[in-house]
Structure 1
């Protein structure tokens, strides 16, 4: 199985059957739709669950701590992708990794759905982190597998796939946000059901639609390597468990120290991976050049997601405490704003997919698309400071300012995120295909690890400075990236 060629894999997948794309896109589209339904439904109410009082059905945590935990949770979710990518590349293959990931995610949501203590909350975090690490990078990697080299449908296919992600993300906060008024745990239960449906779709359609895609183990472990890896894993797990058991009573391992450690790891792990992939004897000189080109794109992605991911932290808090939620006599849930981002993507993603296909070889280069993404992200934070500048901290803001800010960041997301997924499959060294996709998601992990520290600086008093500095920094970086994009393109060695 490990000797399959790219051509053999593509030939095994029916190439017509889903909006002019390979039939396998149907399976991957709906698997990811339901996985994102479960994840974004849970995420839409999680920060409120943490800081709402016990009498309101929450955990009663401090707001600033809840924001930091939310960011570090997101960081760990994406950081775990590096382990999921490694397991897919060396042991499981991407298809099996997707299946096992869905199982872990489902049980994580079930743990949240059980009324209990903060202990169950952390158990659920561990399960969802492991499951998302296995599923998310690998399902995206399989999308790349179903297209031949040079297939002009690839960018469009990733945009359609990305639309499926956001259809799940649009529907679930509306349902779960309404259910949280009755019970947070009922909302989490619906998230668990969503992942179960996604697993059914994947299991019952993959054989017919995906063919050999996802079955390839790119760089399988030898028997000796398997034995060594198992030994290292066992020793590491025992040492880590012992350290945690000793450090918590001693006061060494606290929320603050853990958040700081994860933030540092968010930058150290991708740095190590860039070095390992670049120096590997399995990486060709052309692939080394493409790795160098990937670095500034990775940095730009960190800056973009540092803004975009605050939709579930700072902007969620802004929706709950600074926004007028009474619209035409109806009191809306603050969680509903989590549906605005995916709604705009559902509407705009087909337009962007059509635009890239229409432009063909005349479309902007990958680095210039990234620079546009950063520019829009910066502008979204400049927009959200305007009502605070003309009003005051005690005045509730019209929800349309928040919606406008989200709309602008979505324009950036469509320039950067699906393009980044596609670029990763193009620039990845052959021996590190799934792991490079995991590396792409590590840019999000680094961003949210950074956010875990940044969100502490936000308050109603520092609001203007907070949005202004972060937004301005993104705009400056977008200009720099635009100017150096021809240099980056030369290092990409033929990848446009």
Structure 2
């Protein structure tokens, strides 16, 4: 998009009306608030729904398998963003892609809200995976279209948008989790569906008035001939995959364990292919190749970090439900409430970190140093979980404060790694692969959860001390190694800090 096109779009967007920001920011803020409310609300009770016995309202899936499914589910949600970005760029534009994504997410939650078995669970997951892939990367992209590149409100606008994400993530487990655990899982999923419906209503009725032409253009549209070709390929491919899957499951060749393992392998192959294509491209300069080499250790560090952070929704959720005393200071706690700790700490601490980096200025740690500190904090968040196992044993219930401290430590790491990683991905990206580099950054989370699908199988109450100690210790060692490697990586970055 050239500057004239951008200026023409900005003229259609009311530039004041939401805390001094463009009115369109309110549309995207509340759309994402409700989308995250629905997603994190569903995620807060999904694991329990899978492994609770049928008489308890669950599906009775074996606990280890349920944890692996949760990890693969999260991995596929992040992988699907690649498809969503492509559809927005080549077919629909971001504005329309976000709407259709929200509709698919709502349908997925509605399916979960209806009484159904394991097949219904898989169908709902498919809708939510595709819907989130369509919505998530594009609603954030539209925030950028509300501002000029030099608008001083731009960073502040993204911060407000990020607060909307975490506010939805904070409230969802408290509301959906309580209803799901105390009354009915299906009623909880129904509340999540209502949340996504609310987001769609906000989006549908305010986008034209508040957002103007933002997100309406298709940057690199397919020709009519190519649309037909890709459409036929998609339909044919979906039919073949569906047929092979049905036959495989029917005769017992294709099991859920084999599907999980195959996706775990893809979690490694896809980012590796991204790196190879970018590095070998004729469009990549020598300086850009050097920066890509520097990016590889950062990507591996991010994978290790997310491998720990994302276990908050499976292993630590299991721990909260089976190992924690859920009565604290006279109050009854729901195990799903612990899922609210991460967004709560982010909302509280993000302004502190923003102030700290401004205060330190040029004296702040380099990108590799921030990544290494993030890994050390993540490792400590698991190391601290050894102590209740040692002090109380594998049978006794432990204080909820252990989990609170674990979530607190990993959030310190997230604030060191997540925003810095986004920034580093834009700065180290080859010019010809700027968009793909952002997809690659999101794949660090997808890859981590794909690997987690195999790792979580080693967790049990009896092995928890070794489990937390081994993973936490490895993260700390990796963080120290990255800290020692930081000066060399800075040279490979060729002038990028």
TM-score (norm 2): 0.91
Structure 2, gaps ≥5 residues long: none
Q: Which residue of 2 aligns with 1:413?
A: 414
Tell me how far 1:372 sits from its aligned partner: 2.2
Q: Structure 2 CA distance, aligned partners of 1:11 and 1:350?
A: 31
Change (3 A) 1:462 1:155: farther
Q: Is 1:89 equivalent to 2:127 in the alignment?
A: no
Q: Which residue of 2 aligns with 1:451?
A: 452
Q: Which residue of 2 aligns with 1:168?
A: 168
Tell me how far 1:96 sits from its aligned partner: 2.2
Q: Structure 1 CA distance, aligned partners of 2:431 and 2:74?
A: 28
Q: Which residue of 2 aligns with 1:320?
A: 321
Tell me how far 1:298 sits from its aligned partner: 2.0
Q: Give deviations 1:79-112, integer Å, cap 9, x for gaps.
A: 1111112222222222222221111111100110
Tell me how far 1:246 sits from its aligned partner: 2.0
Q: Which residue of 1 aligns with 2:47?
A: 47
SS of corresponding position for 1:344: helix
Q: Which residue of 2 aligns with 1:100?
A: 100
Tell me how far 1:139 sits from its aligned partner: 2.1
Q: Structure 2 CA distance, aligned partners of 1:209 and 1:356?
A: 33
Tell me how far 1:135 sits from its aligned partner: 1.1
Tell me how far 1:229 sits from its aligned partner: 2.5
Q: Give deviations 1:138-194, integer Å, cap 9, x for gaps.
A: 223333444554667655544443322111111010111211111111110111111
Q: Note the 1:183-332 alignment, pairs <5 A.
A: 183-280=184-281, 288=289, 290-332=291-333
Change (3 A) 1:133 1:39: same
Change (3 A) 1:258 1:4: farther
Q: Give deviations 1:25-52, integer Å, cap 9, x for gaps.
A: 4333222111110000000000000011
Change (3 A) 1:407 1:446: same
Aligned length: 496
Structure 1, gaps ≥5 residues long: none
Q: Give deviations 1:415-467, integer Å, cap 9, x for gaps.
A: 11233334444555566555433322211111111111111101112111111
Tell me how far 1:359 sits from its aligned partner: 4.2
Q: Structure 1 CA distance, aligned partners of 2:286 and 2:17?
A: 38
Q: Structure 1 CA distance, aligned partners of 2:278 and 2:4?
A: 22
Q: Which residue of 1 aligns with 2:143?
A: 143
Q: Which residue of 2 aligns with 1:121?
A: 121
SS of corresponding position for 2:59: coil
Q: Which residue of 2 aligns with 1:397?
A: 398
SS of corresponding position for 1:461: coil
Q: Which residue of 1 aligns with 2:483?
A: 482
Q: Structure 2 CA distance, aligned partners of 1:57 and 1:363?
A: 51
Q: Which residue of 2 aligns with 1:77?
A: 77
Q: Taking CA–CA contacts closer than 8 Å with sequence separation of 6 or more, which of the two structures ends up with the larger relative contact order?
A: 1
Q: Give deviations 1:239-281, integer Å, cap 9, x for gaps.
A: 2122112211222210110000010111111222233344455
Worse-superposed segment, 148-157 or 440-449: 148-157
SS of corresponding position for 1:45: helix
Q: Structure 2 CA distance, aligned partners of 1:148 and 1:376?
A: 36
Tell me how far 1:383 sits from its aligned partner: 1.0
SS of corresponding position for 2:384: helix
Q: Note the 1:312-391 alignment, pairs <5 A.
A: 312-391=313-392
Change (3 A) 1:3 1:151: closer
